[in-house]
Structure 1
Amino acid sequence: MHIAEGFLPPLHAAAWTVAAAPFVVHGARAVVRERRERPETTLLLAAAGAFTFVLSAIKLPSVTGSSSHPTGTGLGATLFRPPVMAFLSTVVLLFQALLLAHGGLTTLGANVFSMGVVGPWAGYAAWRLLCGRHRGLAIFTAFALADLATYCTTSVQLGLAFPDPVSGIAGGVVKFLGVFALTQVPLAVVEGLLGVLVLRLLADVAGPELARLGIVPTTPPSEAVTR
């Protein structure tokens, strides 16, 4: 996530923009449909976007002068499915590039693809796989995996752009994965735990909305999230 402005070769930047564009258009339509069909979830939709903005704006030093970030996309992916997050992540990354100098405009497509497409789909897949067994574990895994999948994708993007002189693209990918792993793995664990806490709080204040979204069953909210 947050590949810096001008860091990718122009051809790579253009290719990732083209790859991300259909997901963003589909996500915009999903947001409009969500607002039209379930207007009562508007505040939750805004909360998902704000959560992503705040968490992904946290910049923590990593090794070799790089940095690591939480992503926050697990919340929106779990609540509203991944297409919504493609659009919300685009808005978030655009504002961060313009206002915080996190990421950039030329690398927006690459950053959206990793954080707004791959990450949310990975987290949502984990949620769907585990939610019928233990919701607390499902939430933790969804948030943590959305974070890790984003950084794995970013490492692939950087490895493709800057292959290792000896071992090529594979070596480049491994090198970038190693750079991020020391800080990103603990961050993913923390983000997973934060996700469990946030969903428990939301279940207490917005239980009916979460029940309509299928996140919690129609049982006492605090119990539902931890099952």
Structure 2
Amino acid sequence: MHIAEGFLPPIQAAAWTAVAAPFVIHGARAVVREVREHPENRLLLGAAGAFTFVLSALKMPSVTGSSSHPTGIGAGAILFKPPIMAFVGMVVLLFQALLLAHGGLTTLGANVFSMAVVGPWVAYGAWVLCRRLGAPMEVGVFAAMALADLSTYCVTSLQLAIAFPDPASGLLGALAKFASIFAITQIPLALAEGVLGVLLFRTLRKVARPELTRLGVLPKGATTSKAAQHA
């Protein structure tokens, strides 16, 4: 749901940048702290960023001035929590704007807010809620990944509606119009992203179980139990 370069009025583009900036600054500090205190997590952090970059680069035509695509942001939110993904998401979106002409520099703040701020917090909230309810890991991952995608598309729809209200029905009419057009592609993409997330974490559980345990994704007894099975 990257909003294209120059598609938002300058005042609104600046406002979204100002809103997103504190989250990105906080996230940058969180990344520095994570790398300094847990250097063993660098590889997994890089993989989370690469996963977000690849998925969110798979764009499909949608609303004029924007596009539909998976976000991939939920995986990193589960692994490293939302503040870190605010910074990682900003870096991803910046590189996509510069290298792929996907999104833009003037709309970077708006895109960061929808995908790298709102998306990770919704994902993490869904993940925590599912785990507290005793749901299996796969259910929590599916909900986090799918809802991160859907929340991003909802915020992007709102941003476009604010910029281009309907002459007759105003903001709400424009919001309904943008959201309904996005829904044609975005809802199936969100469901597919949820399934992909489940497959990803099943693989990580096999190849990076100690790291997932250290990050709190798996319970602390998981590594011990696994070792006991092979004893």
Fold shared, TM-score > 0.5 on shorter chain: yes
Partners of 2:47 and 2:189 lie apart in 1 by 21
Q: Which has the larger radius of gyration?
A: 2
Matched, 1:78 2:115: no
Partners of 1:65 and 1:54 lie apart in 2 by 21
Alignment RMSD (CA, Å): 1.6
What's 2:222 paired with? 219
Q: Mean Cα displacement is larger for which, 124-133 or 141-150?
A: 124-133
Give the CA deviation at 1:71: 0.2
Partners of 2:97 and 2:13 lie apart in 1 by 15
Partners of 2:170 and 2:192 lie apart in 1 by 33
What's 1:196 paired with? 198
| 2:2–2:67 Cα contact (<8 Å) kept | no
* Alignment deviations for residues 44-85 of structure 1 (CA, whole Å, 9 cap, x no partner): 100000000000000123477963100000011000000011
Partners of 1:129 and 1:65 lie apart in 2 by 35
| 1:64–1:179 Cα contact (<8 Å) kept | no
What's 1:165 paired with? 167
Match for residue 158 of structure 2 among 156, 179, 188: 156
| 2:89–2:115 Cα contact (<8 Å) kept | yes
What's 1:141 paired with? 143
| 1:122–1:145 Cα contact (<8 Å) kept | yes
The structure-2 alpha-carbon separation of the partners of 1:164 and 1:149, relative to structure 1 and needing over 3 Å to count, comes to: same
Which consecutive unaligned segments of at least 5 residues does structure 2 have?
Answer: 227-231
Partners of 1:41 and 1:167 lie apart in 2 by 50
Letter in 2 for 1:8: L
Partners of 1:145 and 1:26 lie apart in 2 by 23
What's 2:34 paired with? 34
TM-score using structure 1 length: 0.94
Equivalent residue of 1:219, what SS?
helix
Q: Mean Cα displacement is larger for which, 211-220 or 37-46?
A: 211-220
What's 2:186 paired with? 184
Letter in 1 for 2:114: S
| 2:2–2:66 Cα contact (<8 Å) kept | no
What's 2:122 paired with? 122
The structure-2 alpha-carbon separation of the partners of 1:24 and 1:64, relative to structure 1 and needing over 3 Å to count, comes to: closer
How many corresponding residue pairs? 222
Which consecutive unaligned segments of at least 5 residues does structure 1 have?
Answer: none
* Alignment deviations for residues 3-26 of structure 1 (CA, whole Å, 9 cap, x no partner): 000000000000000000000000
* Alignment deviations for residues 96-154 of structure 1 (CA, whole Å, 9 cap, x no partner): 00000000000000000000000110010000000231221111000000000000000
| 1:58–1:69 Cα contact (<8 Å) kept | yes
Equivalent residue of 2:222, what SS?
coil
